Chains A and B, each alone.
Chain A
Amino acid sequence: GESVGLHLPTLSVQEGDNSIINCAYSNSASDYFIWYKQESGKGPQFIIDIRSNMDKRQGQRVTVLLNKTVKHLSLQIAATQPGDSAVYFCAENIGNSWGKLQFGAGTQVVVTP
């Protein structure tokens, strides 16, 4: 079936470098995408979102890029810090009015000093 998937299950980044986390989606009806950060033993924390009528959105130290042509979503974290170490999930709203989300597999980001 259609699903959201991630290319890299684990990403090791040196402190201060930029991180790029990728996500592929296959449902062309998806119109809303969100990135969440989950620390161990905690619930997901909203980072940034983007609608399908946009291709880029920036937040504080984070940027989300959406390429609908190739159905690709990415999260860029600038100047990665130790506190950024976590699992990052992309999620897509599969076009329903209830707001049901389908989550990707997740990427573990490890920030090294």
Chain B
Amino acid sequence: GAVVSQHPSWVICKSGTSVKIECRSLDFQATTMFWYRQFPKQSLMLMATSNEGSKATYEQGVEKDKFLINHASLTLSTLTVTSAHPEDSSFYICSARGLAGESDTQYFGPGTRLTVL
């Protein structure tokens, strides 16, 4: 099946620094990737939709200048958390949408645990 990877799997950083998270589709091309964040014991909240070669579309309430998204190729999207603060600590998950058989299924990465001190 389709595989999506994320790097790093976890990161600890100091308040005020920036952190980049990579999302890669390993065996398929993804024109669309999505970024979610998930707090403990809660559901996934969509942050933005990333389309290859164009600007990302952010959900209401998500600061585009704080969460920079770049989808430079059909297999790579990056999320940069700029000037991170403790409240940005969360589990960040990406997904990639590919056409697999009859379904437009989204395949999820393993997630990145961000802890901001």
A98 and B49 contact, Cβ closer than 8 Å, known pairs A43-B93, A44-B44, A105-B43: yes
User: Nearest residue in B to A105 (C-beta to C-beta)?
Assistant: B43
Q: How far is the CA of A102 from the CA of B44 in the complex (A)?
A: 8
Query: Which residues of B14-65 have CB atoms within 8 Å of chain A's CB atoms?
Result: 32, 34, 42-46, 49, 51, 57
Count of inter-chain pairs, beta carbons less than 8 A: 56
Contact pick for B109, options A43, A49, A103, CB 8 Å: A43
Q: Is the interface of B mostly helix, strand, loop or mixed?
A: strand
Given known pairs A41-B113, A43-B93, A89-B44, the reply for A99 and B32 (CB within 8 Å) is: yes
Contact of B106 among A41, A99, A104, A105 (CB under 8 A): A99
B109 CB, nearest partner CB in chain A, Å: 5
14 contacts between A and B (CB under 8 A): A36-B108, A43-B4, A43-B110, A43-B111, A44-B95, A49-B103, A89-B43, A89-B44, A93-B104, A99-B32, A99-B104, A101-B106, A105-B42, A105-B43
Given A34-B106, A89-B43, 12 extra CB contacts under 8 A: A34-B105, A41-B113, A46-B1, A46-B105, A98-B32, A98-B57, A99-B104, A101-B34, A101-B46, A101-B106, A102-B46, A104-B43
